[in-house]
Structure 1
């Protein structure tokens, strides 16, 4: 990355900017765009809140809803084997614009994943933000090499963090427009998603979706982390995860600049005791068991929204936040089994409803003519195991106890004969 940017290979992200004077200078140079972000958001956000109840749910394709991020350089042979075992149909790969020499290696990996739908996240550096001619050249190289093999190209990422190279939404708008113009001129069939705002900072999202730039998104990408709030059901400024999804979905629905698709292309929780690999401080980290619980509950809540087309877990192998720890060989965490059973159970699921009462959650869906309920509770409680129940733990183990313990770890209950 162009100085003063440096990449942290432990947590797979840029280091925070240390040059405060440079950061202040760049923010000052973008004051016009920052003012636009403020004024656009004070109109769009309240209006979107008012309109949220009127947005219709979609019928989400559960086969493509489950996505997982994979580092094509990290244990590639083992990654391919685990993808086969997980049976996930969509994966997300990342390519760094400052490492164009690795494009052949990326393509080789993609060719080994021919049975998967692939989202390719194109990561930027400051040099490509400033030099749009260089950006166009490198994007054309990527599109030419991979457009026949990639389902979705995500243009840029984490646009509201200066360490990632952008100092304003207008800088991102100019960046995305290069990709959009290239699509129109040479690659009309490629699918581009963008926006790339991280966390619940929708004033930036509003500016990406409502502006005078001549471009269009084929869908919106959001890095909707909630890890700093603890459990996925927890509130932030009065909004839980479902509320955040509903508000963003409404903004996409209202925007003239986007098709009505929402892809969550990054989310996870950092794992306790994994520094320096954890991407946050130890305060935000959780145990491996809570990590698995939160993973499943995040997916269930996002699926129940019926507004999210895919959720990409970040990522398969990463010591600080992945399903697999590779510091000393390949160690599959319990969340690996959680993810595997989740995909196995819900791959052909049709959402029916989500019931919530006093912190007790029941997601109901039909799976191949069977009724499946998934139960969890924010306060530990119990449920009688009926004769017509077929019960599985979070990780797919059969449960035969007469009294079921309902708590942080969701359990799967098939209700036999109900839909026959």
Structure 2
């Protein structure tokens, strides 16, 4: 990624843009789109709020719900064995478009995982946003190289952060349209996941879902982080995690631009004392014990919503936010790695029966081949799994 859009290899994200004059200039040029974003949100969000109580619940089972992010630059030779041990069946692998010279390496890495469902996230830089002909060529190269291996792609990421290259939703819609046109003309079997707004900024989501662009999303992706609010049960502007999920689902259901499928493509908590690897300041970081508990509780709440078809944890190996710390090339499995494995062993074949909670206690009831599974937790303790009428 070229300056001023530099990549921070510690936290695996673009560095903050220090050129304030550039940001002001780009935002002024994007003003018409930003006004459109505001007006669309003003019209659609109130309707979505009204519609929320009337939307039906889907049937989401544990078989397809759990997913994990893995990276080529994080122990690629060991990762397949760790994934097999963990037991997860769905992976998300990011391909930065500015690394097309390494496409063969990415293809080899993706092919190292057998009998797993692979989703590939195509990460943009500013050059690929402004040069759509180059983007088209690179999309074609990737789609052809992974033919028969991967058919599900996330098109673009974190579209509401300038450091990721987009300065307006209109720019993103033009970028996504490149992939959509290729699906229409050359690759009809592809599943394209779009929108990909980070955090609880649904005015941007609304613009991706209500517009006149000639596009359609096969599913909506959301980088639904709640780490700045602490525990996953905490609220923001009156919405806890389940409330945020339900509001976004209402927008998706009302939109003519998408199939009614919501995928959380990225979420985590930053971990204390891991700077410069943590993607936030130390203030937002949590202990490894809280990280493990929050991770499981986030999954349970998203599953209880029955609106999220798959949740990809970000990610397996990363010193600042992963299940495994690999600093100094020593792999140390954090408590969260074992907690994820335990959660998956209980939930991978679970079907929701019901979810209820009081001010301090949460109960998730599921049916499984082993009997009725009850999962209980509160805000100060990790979830406990126990079975009733064990078969």
TM more than 0.5: yes
Offset of 1:87 from its aligned partner? 1.1
SS state of the match for residue 107, structure 1? helix
Gaps of 5+ in 1: 379-406
> Is this contact kept in 2: 1:160–1:198, CA < 8 A?
yes
Match of 2:385 in 1: 412
Quote the residue 1:202 is aligned against: 202
2:356 matched to which residue of 1? 355
**Retained in 1: the 8 A contact 2:220–2:262?**
yes
Q: Using the alignment, how far apart are the partners of 1:250 and 1:31 within structure 2?
A: 27
Q: Distance in 2 between matches of 1:2 and 1:8?
A: 12
1:139 aligns with 2:136: no
Contact 1:270/1:286, CA 8 A, preserved across alignment: yes
Contact kept, 8 Å, 2:61 with 2:352, in 1: the verdict is no
SS at match of 1:74: coil
Further displaced range: 134-143 or 198-207: 134-143
Could you say which residue in structure 1 is the equivalent of 2:21? 21
Q: Partner of 1:403 in structure 2? A: none
Aligned match of 1:260 = 260
1:20-419 equivalent positions in 2, closer than 5 A: 20-328=20-328, 329-368=330-369, 370-378=371-379, 407-417=380-390
**Partner SS, residue 355 of structure 1:** strand
2:126/2:166 contact within 8 Å kept: yes
1:308-350 CA distances to partner (integer Å, 9 max, x unpaired)? 0111110000000000000031000000000011111101000
Q: Is the 8 A contact 1:69 1:92 kept in 2?
A: yes
Rounded to whole Å, the distance in 1 between the matches of 2:378 and 2:13 is 34
Larger Rg: 1
The residue aligned with 2:6 is 6
Q: 1:106: Cα distance to partner?
A: 1.0
1:197 & 1:101 partners in 2: Cα distance? 28
Shift of 1:3: 2.1
Q: Is the 8 A contact 2:151 2:189 kept in 1?
A: no
Contact (CA 8 Å) 1:114, 1:149: kept in 2 or not? no
Give the conservation status (yes or no) of the 8 Å contact 1:97–1:124.
Answer: yes
CA RMSD of aligned residues (A): 0.9
The equivalent of 1:382 in structure 2 is: none
In structure 2, C-alpha distance between the alignment counterparts of 1:84 and 1:46, rounded to whole Å: 45
Match of 1:395 in 2: none
In 2: Cα distance, 1:369 partner to 1:408 partner: 25
Question: Following TM superposition, by how much is the alpha carbon of 1:73 offset from its aligned partner in structure 2, in angstroms?
Answer: 2.5
Residue deviations 1:51-100 (CA, integer Å, cap 9, x gap): 01111111113111100000122111211111000111100000000000
Q: Is the 8 A contact 2:173 2:208 kept in 1?
A: yes
Name segments (4+ residues, structure 1) moved above 6 Å. none
Gap runs ≥5 in structure 2: none
Q: Distance in 2 between the 1:20 and 1:305 partners?
A: 41
Q: Secondary structure at the match of 1:410?
A: strand
Separation (CA, whole Å) in 1 of partners of 2:298 and 2:237: 19
Question: Can you list the C-alpha shifts for 1:196-244, whole angstroms capped at 9, x where unaligned?
Answer: 1000000000000000000000000000000000000001000000000
Q: Hey, what's the Cα distance between the residues in 1 that align with 2:119 and 2:357?
A: 33
Give the Cα–Cα distance (whole angstroms) in 2 for the partners of residues 313 and 281 of structure 1: 20
**With structure 1 as the length reference, what TM-score do the two structures score?**
0.92
**DSSP 3-state at the match of 1:92:** strand
Report the TM-score, using the length of structure 2 for normalisation.
Answer: 0.98
State the distance in 2 between where 1:81 and 1:304 align.
30
Contact 1:5–1:15 under 8 Å retained in 2 = yes
| Kept after mapping to 2: 8 A contact 1:117/1:151 | no
Q: State the distance in 2 between where 1:193 and 1:355 align.
A: 31
Alignment check: 8 A CA contact 1:62 1:350 kept? yes
Residues 1:338 and 1:151: Cα distance change in structure 2 (over 3 Å): farther
Aligned partners of 1:150 and 1:200: how far apart in 2? 30
Structure 1 residue 369: Cα displacement: 5.0
